[in-house]
Amino acid sequence: MNRKYFGTDGIRGRVGEHPITPDFVLKLGWAAGKVFAKQGKKRILIGKDTRLSGYMFESALEAGLSAAGVDVYLLGPMPTPGIAYLTQTFHADAGIVISASHNSFEDNGIKFFSRSGEKLPDEVELEIESWLDKPMETVAPALLGKARRINDAAGRYIEFCKNTLPFNASLQGMSLVVDCAHGATYHIAPEVFNELGATVDVIGAKPDGLNINKGYGSTNPRALQDRVLEVGADLGIGFDGDGDRLVMVTHTGRLLDGDDLLYILAKNLQSKGQLQGGIVGTEMSNLGLELALKEANIPFVRAKVGDRYVMAELQKNNWLVGGENSGHLVCRHVQSTGDGIVAALQVLQAIQEADGQIEALLQGMKKMPQSLVNIRT
């Protein structure tokens, strides 16, 4: 059965145009609430990025879920992977993300995480869609869901990110430029790196609701490259608007995409005997990555484009690491979904273990010519 609204990464579109409208999102919250309440599940988390429209859709989802009898926990601005993590630690039944990732503020979207912090199975999304076709009914007044705001959500996620590194790990002596794309990582990523001891110069961390991904972030890396060279930093780290993808910039201004970072992670884990199988890329992964991994005797398979397909292939093979050249990196040994901050920490650890010589870590990979053309349909 084909899905009517859900794509590979939830429901997304232009704000004010169907289905990204307040009335539809209200109904979507109710439909999701009916599905989870039917299973005896009554607690759902909601987080968002920094888009102005996020406030409107947060309220709509809250109302719809409450009408279905579901309790709502509001996280406020929070990276997508942070919502996945907190869904697990709160023992919630689902997490909802309000974000359009790397798109501009005119767009927004809704996606769901299961109680295990992973994308919802297709059959659950289909069931939610089936409820969208039914008349909306509110539970009895005494059974309405309650809402509460989680004021320490950011601190909880910051501690989780830090704890993905070995105990007593430190970034002291490392100078970083961190670009938050005026998005959901603006109040979290700098704190993570600061608390681990790095010297941090922050750009793209003044969200106003309209500037997410504008001129900054992983899809606009020029500002990061320029800043790294300007201040003489060891490394630059750029996130997208919802914090589930990243790029890096070396001290020479060289841009490292998801393929480069996957290779660094693969070689590092292999050197420590911790790789556990191979690497999952996508149809878009550079041929140079595949050839370099083959030379290193590391198995490599390609999934369809989309982090949910990367995750499915990792689970199928019981492997740990995969990702896309866009910078979505999945490190299953430390996080249940793609996480820009956590992946950055894994790469920084690999660099430290190579005595800070990031260029040396990439000597075995030679990128092949590749061109990407976007076509609006």
> Are 241 and 349 contained in the same domain?
no
Tell me: do 203 and 331 sit in the same domain. no
CB 53 within 8 A of CB 24: no
Using CA atoms, how far apart are residues 204 and 274, in angstroms rounded to an integer?
A: 35
What pLDDT is stored for residue 38 in this prediction? 80
Segment 359-363 long-range contacts (CB within 8 Å, at least 24 positions apart): 359/250, 359/252, 359/254, 361/263, 361/264, 361/267, 361/268, 362/256, 362/260, 362/263, 362/264
Q: What is residue 373's predicted lDDT score, i.e. its pLDDT?
A: 67
Predicted local distance difference test score (pLDDT) of residue 355: 86
136 in the same domain as 72: yes
Give 230's contacts (C-beta < 8 A, 6+ positions apart): none
Asked if 279 and 178 sit in the same domain, the reply is no
Strand 279-282 to strand 300-303: parallel, antiparallel, or no bridges (unpaired)? Answer: parallel
Confidence at residue 8, expressed as pLDDT on a 0 to 100 scale: 83
DSSP string computed for 240-299: -TTSSBEEEEETT--EE-HHHHHHHHHHHHHHTT---S-EEEETTS-HHHHHHHHHTT--
Q: Looking at the domain assignment, is residue 357 inside a domain?
A: yes
In a domain, 3, yes or no: no
Please return the burial class of 70, using the count of CB atoms within 10 Å of its CB with bins 0-12, 13-18 and 19+: buried
pLDDT tens for residues 281-306? 999 999 999 999 999 999 999 999 98
Residues 77 and 145 in one domain: yes
Task: Verify that 286 and 302 share a domain, yes or no.
Answer: yes
Task: Quote the CA–CA distance of 122 and 93 in Å, as a whole number.
Answer: 16
Same domain, 312 and 182: no
Closest of 84, 139, 135, 137 to residue 114, by C-alpha: 84
Q: Which residues are catalytic?
A: 101
Tell me, yes or no, whether 377 lies in a domain.
no
The pLDDT averaged over each successive group of 10 residues in the chain (377 residues) is: 85 98 99 88 94 99 98 98 98 97 97 94 94 96 96 98 95 98 99 98 99 98 99 98 97 97 97 96 97 98 93 96 97 95 98 88 91 64
Does 19 sit behind a cis peptide bond, omega within 30 degrees of 0 on the bond before it? yes
**Which residue(s) pair with 199 in the sheet?**
175
The CATH number of whichever domain residue 221 belongs to comes to: 3.40.120.10
- Which CA distances in Å does 76 have to 8, 184, 221, 262, 316? 24, 9, 26, 31, 34
**Bridge partners, 175 (sequence order):** 199
The answer as to whether 1 is a domain residue is no
Specify whether 265 is located in the same domain as 251: no
My answer on whether 221 and 331 are in the same domain is no
Q: Which of 256, 288, 314 is the last residue of a domain?
A: 256
How many C-beta atoms surround the C-beta of residue 292 within 10 A? 23
The count of domains in the chain is 3
Last residue of a domain, one of 124, 151, 178: 151
For residue 162, what pLDDT is reported?
Answer: 98
End-of-domain residue from the set 256, 274, 308: 256
Question: At which residue do the structure tokens 């299953």 appear?
Answer: 332
Q: Decide if 374 is inside a domain.
A: no
Same-domain check for residues 264 and 305: yes
pLDDT score for 351 = 95
Does 41 reside within a domain? yes
Task: Please report where in the chains the tokens 């003044």 appear, as a residue.
Answer: 206
Domain range for 80 is 11-151
SS3 368: coil
